[in-house]
Structure 1
Amino acid sequence: MSFFILLTSLLGGLALFIFGTNLISDGLQKAAAVEVQKLLGTFTRNRVAGMLVGFVVTIFLQTSAVTSVLLVGFVSAGLMTMEQALGVILGAAIGSTMTVQLIVFRITDYAPWALILGLLPYLLAKRRRWRYLGQSAVGFGLLFYGVMTMSSAVQPLKEFPAWVLQFQYLASHPWLLFVAATLFTAIVQSSAAPVALAISLAGQGVLFLEPALAIVLGANVGTTATGLLSSLAASWEARRVAWAHFFFKIIGALLFLPFLPSFGRLVAWTSPHLARQVANGHTLFNVVNMLIFLPFTPYISKLLERLLPEHPREEKIAKYLDEALLEVPELALSRVRQEILRMAGIIREKMFPRIMQPLPLREEGLLRKLKEVDNVLDCLYQAIARYLARISPGDEREEVEKARLLYIANDLEHIGDVMVQMARQWRKVEETGLGFSAQGQAEIEEMYRLVQENFEKAVEAFASADYRLAVQVIKQHPALLKMEKTLRFSHFQRLQQENRLSLETTAVHMDLINHLLRLNSHNVSIAQAVLGII
């Protein structure tokens, strides 16, 4: 066999393996990610339970990367502490080794059946979940074909003395193999691929156990590269999760590398077969790593919070909109809901309490500060709109949900705009040095109170899908319309009585009433979207 044909077979097998792995991961994510999300949110109350859940979840999803993405959302939403998330990360690392364990079973002869049985539902099933499961089965078939192709390709390597010498050189330099495996894994974005290659080489006697284990350690570190790169422009929670994953892997690898001969002897006891030993070494490394770090997760969590503190400018960064979920519409839409609730929380905490403070208590630079808050809302709305446009097309229900979420985000963005316009009116009052009449101030505050209550009800109706609350908001609108006319008439009466304060601030007074009515119109629009009226 010529070297070109050998290299072609080896790379072709590797390509089939990586493609099969992606098909499995993608299919299982789409078929079961929603259930997995519920599992993560329910059974991670302590670090040990979190570790076990991370292990089980990653076996189902066949990737620790998506598990990490889900963790970011839970930590950001306050549904899970960073300490709990660290336990899940350690468990997910063990779960991700199960793909390699499957490889060393002699089931490659059954690869065609995986393709056949998977292709039928993938092409013919009408229900999406069955199509996704069929896709995963096809992925398993391709993965095993890839392993079989790589094993066949490396068999004649012994016929090339130059390559045998190269492997012997590398075997005497495990650090070099470790670095090469780290870089290779970072490029192909799959830790299973270099480990499968090492198993193929070891199975043919080309690579011995210790250098194969150096490749395994490098693959474990290299798999963290994807998370680190994607977290650069993400929220501080995402960065902490990514760096925790890297910290566990790199410290563990650096602890193991100096004792590679001892680690090799330990792994050799687990099986008489070299290929199985490599797979067991992959699993054993992650199990020992978990046992080392799990007791210290509270301290590691605090350390990460110190090293990666939240920056005020990060308010403009969408916390929940992870691109890794774009291919899973149900999960992606749930993340959009979280980001919309974050927008509502910003309005509730940073705009509503400040806009109606009495003149003597009003903070300096209110207009400038509210403009900064509105800027954050604008950025989040733009991020939500772009994210919704990029979510993979789903069924009719999901497409309607996209439109509904966009409408609600748009209404929240407009509420921020109205608040800024109200602040401009208050600045006009400050410039006159006057305030409203006592009756006029009381009337506006009463209307404001009702509008704020409706906002709270509309947001709660959206958060909990409470149709009853949404109906209340809509039914309240006619009363506010009537109130607006009553306040105008009351103000007109004060003008006729030549009330000096009313005369000086009449334009501002009327504009504020208009703005409050506009705010409530957006509340009603949100409530209508909750009910599906779009």
Structure 2
Amino acid sequence: MSGSVVLIHLAGAVALLLWATRTVRTGVERAYGDILRRKLRGTLKNPLAAVAAGALLAIAFQSSTAVSLLVGSFVGSGIVGAASGLIAVLGADLGSAFVVKLLSFDLSLLVPILIFSGTAIFLATERRAWRQFGRILVGVGLLLLSLQLIGNASEPLRHSDLLPIVINYLSGDVVTAFLLAALMTWLFHSSIAFILLVVALASRGLIPAELGVVLALGANLGGGLIAGLLSRTMAPASRVVPFGNLAIRGIGAVIALAALTIFKPPLEYLGATAPLQIIHAHIVFNIALVIVGMPIAGLVTRILENVSPSGPAAATLEDREASALDPSALSIPSRALANVTRAVVGVCETVEVMLKNIMELYEEPDRERMAELASLDDRVDRKHAAIKLYLARIPPEQMDEHDVQRTRELLDACVKLEQVGDIITRNMLVHVKKKLDRGLTFTPEGWRELSNLHATVLNNARLAFNVVISRDPGTAQALVREKDRMRDLERETSERHFERLRVGTKKSLETSSIHLDTIRDLKQINSLLASIAYPVLEEHGLLRGSRLAPAAE
């Protein structure tokens, strides 16, 4: 087999590995993301619990980067402290190391079972949670299959004349190997994927254990770089955790590389084979980072908070959104409408924050955060007024029929988003205040039902935001179907609540009005968001004129 054919097979196998990792991550995020976020918020205050939660979340998401960005957003929102968040991310790095260990076992028999089961589940139901579970199973099956393909594709490299030269050079120049591994990990956007590739090549005898450990250390630096670079557009407070993790991981990797080069510790204690030595060195390194990082996390985050840009030098999100409404573009309607779309995206982001935060306040009422949430509604009102004025200034004589239709859509979407904000602050925030003033608590069953209802609305909100931007008819259809599912879910939730009232559950009696009003508010929010899809469906002929049955003659 020629070298070019070997590389093509290897590239395809690596691409499948990256795709499978992403499939698992998106499946977990869509099916269980909101549940995992709620659980994570409650455990981050305890350092040991934060490490465990971060590790478990990294195993679920197949990515420590996703955990780093998620926890960073929690810190930016003031939900948890920066030090606790950093400790959780160090735990996530350890969790991703255990993922590598888990996937190193011979699980080839599971490949057909997982792919068949996942496909059957995905095709057999329309329920989102089950379909995403099927997606996760298929993703894990493809991930295991990709590792087999990498091993098979790399087999001919045993007889390559060039590869030993490259390996010998990298073995003699550990700094280059370290930096190359960091670069490749950044290109892969996954330290798990890169280390699995190194382990697969080591299992074929293509990479010695010493070089493999150096590459694993470089992958740790690259893994920290991924989250650091992806967080560059986040608020300064949200960037503290990813950059703190990068600092600890990067400095730790450099120190470990220096120790490995100078002292040349025997790797035989880590395992009998090169793959085991690489995997176990990766795990030991991340355990050491957790042990060292926990006591210094507070110091690291304080240093980063002091050097983070703030004040006028750091443009706020609202400033950037205001700059999107460029007056010089008004004479060209297509450009002006593109600017409005960007501004509406900003409104979507603010409404999403409000929708997420209101349920957190139901769980843990706090007057300061309630005031902050109310201020977000004022921001939505200001944005809506600015967008409405900007649209009115576009010369109508220069707009064609498509521009006029898009103007209506954007204005209608903005109006509905403002109404959602009003429901959150004028209705749901009042319920939170009542709950706080009276010291009320929901029953575990009631709270679980409200949380599930809220998670559904939040997922539908994200679908609605995608419709605003992409105008995709498939997404619009999915959003309207979710409206029907939401109606059934709301009815079931109300019936279960009344059943608890019949048996005289005390907490249900005390919180009955708040519970039912919240169900009504969530349903109303969901209806407003679903109606954003109607113009797109109507344009593509996918909307019926009336949902009423024909009258009998």
Q: How does 1:48-447 map to 2 (within 5 A)?
A: 48-260=48-260, 265=265, 267-312=267-312, 316-317=316-317, 335-338=353-356, 345=371, 377-378=382-383, 406-408=417-419
Q: Contact (CA 8 Å) 2:427, 2:521: kept in 1 or not?
A: no
Q: Contact (CA 8 Å) 1:46, 1:84: kept in 2 or not?
A: yes
Distance 1:140 1:263, change over 3 A: farther
Cα distance in 1 between the residues matched to 2:276 and 2:252: 21
CA drift of 1:175 comes to: 1.1
CA drift of 1:243 comes to: 0.7
Cα distance in 2 between the residues matched to 1:404 and 1:232: 31
Number of equivalent positions: 386
Please tell me the residue identity of whatever aligns with 1:226: I
Cα distance in 2 between the residues matched to 1:300 and 1:308: 12
CA drift of 1:344 comes to: 8.0
Q: Contact (CA 8 Å) 2:351, 2:421: kept in 1 or not?
A: no
Cα distance in 1 between the residues matched to 2:262 and 2:282: 15
Q: Contact (CA 8 Å) 1:221, 1:249: kept in 2 or not?
A: yes
Please tell me the residue identity of whatever aligns with 2:417: L
Q: Contact (CA 8 Å) 2:72, 2:242: kept in 1 or not?
A: no
Distance 1:161 1:122, change over 3 A: same
Distance 1:312 1:271, change over 3 A: same
Please tell me the root mean square deviation across aligned C-alpha atoms, in Å: 3.9
Cα distance in 2 between the residues matched to 1:527 and 1:462: 11
Please tell me the residue identity of whatever aligns with 2:353: R
Q: Contact (CA 8 Å) 2:69, 2:242: kept in 1 or not?
A: no
Distance 1:146 1:404, change over 3 A: farther
The residue number in structure 2 matching 1:461 is 430
Cα distance in 2 between the residues matched to 1:218 and 1:463: 48
CA drift of 1:303 comes to: 1.0
Distance 1:380 1:210, change over 3 A: farther
Cα distance in 2 between the residues matched to 1:213 and 1:21: 22
Distance 1:200 1:303, change over 3 A: same
Distance 1:344 1:150, change over 3 A: same
Cα distance in 2 between the residues matched to 1:70 and 1:405: 28
Distance 1:166 1:309, change over 3 A: closer
Q: Contact (CA 8 Å) 1:461, 1:527: kept in 2 or not?
A: no
Q: Contact (CA 8 Å) 1:72, 1:238: kept in 2 or not?
A: yes
CA deviation profile, 1:284-317 (whole Å, cap 9, x unmatched) = 1111111111111121121111111533575732
Distance 1:288 1:262, change over 3 A: farther
What TM-score comes out, normalization by structure 2 length? 0.62
Q: Contact (CA 8 Å) 1:77, 1:338: kept in 2 or not?
A: no
Gaps of 5+ in 1: 322-330, 352-372, 383-401, 413-454, 470-525
Q: Secondary structure at the match of 1:269?
A: helix
Distance 1:143 1:531, change over 3 A: closer
CA drift of 1:72 comes to: 2.6
Cα distance in 2 between the residues matched to 1:376 and 1:309: 28
CA drift of 1:407 comes to: 2.7
Distance 1:380 1:76, change over 3 A: farther
Per mean C-alpha deviation after superposition, the further-off stretch among 239-248 and 259-268 is: 259-268
Cα distance in 2 between the residues matched to 1:88 and 1:317: 27
Q: Secondary structure at the match of 2:105?
A: coil
Cα distance in 2 between the residues matched to 1:165 and 1:186: 25
Distance 1:296 1:19, change over 3 A: same
Distance 1:410 1:77, change over 3 A: closer
Cα distance in 1 between the residues matched to 2:416 and 2:71: 23
Please tell me the residue identity of whatever aligns with 1:532: Q
Q: Contact (CA 8 Å) 2:178, 2:218: kept in 1 or not?
A: yes
Please tell me the residue identity of whatever aligns with 1:18: L
Cα distance in 2 between the residues matched to 1:235 and 1:44: 20
CA drift of 1:49 comes to: 2.1
The residue number in structure 1 matching 2:540 is none
Cα distance in 2 between the residues matched to 1:286 and 1:304: 22
Distance 1:11 1:457, change over 3 A: closer
Q: Secondary structure at the match of 1:224?
A: helix
Cα distance in 2 between the residues matched to 1:280 and 1:36: 28
Q: Contact (CA 8 Å) 2:270, 2:280: kept in 1 or not?
A: yes
Gaps of 5+ in 2: 322-348, 362-367, 388-412, 439-517, 529-553
Identity percentage over the alignment?
A: 23
Structure showing greater Rg:
1
Q: Contact (CA 8 Å) 1:47, 1:84: kept in 2 or not?
A: yes
CA drift of 1:119 comes to: 1.1
Q: Contact (CA 8 Å) 2:74, 2:238: kept in 1 or not?
A: no
Structure 1: which 4+ aligned runs deviate by more than 3 Å?
Answer: 261-267, 312-316, 331-336, 338-351, 373-377, 379-382, 402-405, 408-412, 455-459, 462-466, 526-531
Distance 1:290 1:75, change over 3 A: same
CA drift of 1:379 comes to: 9.0
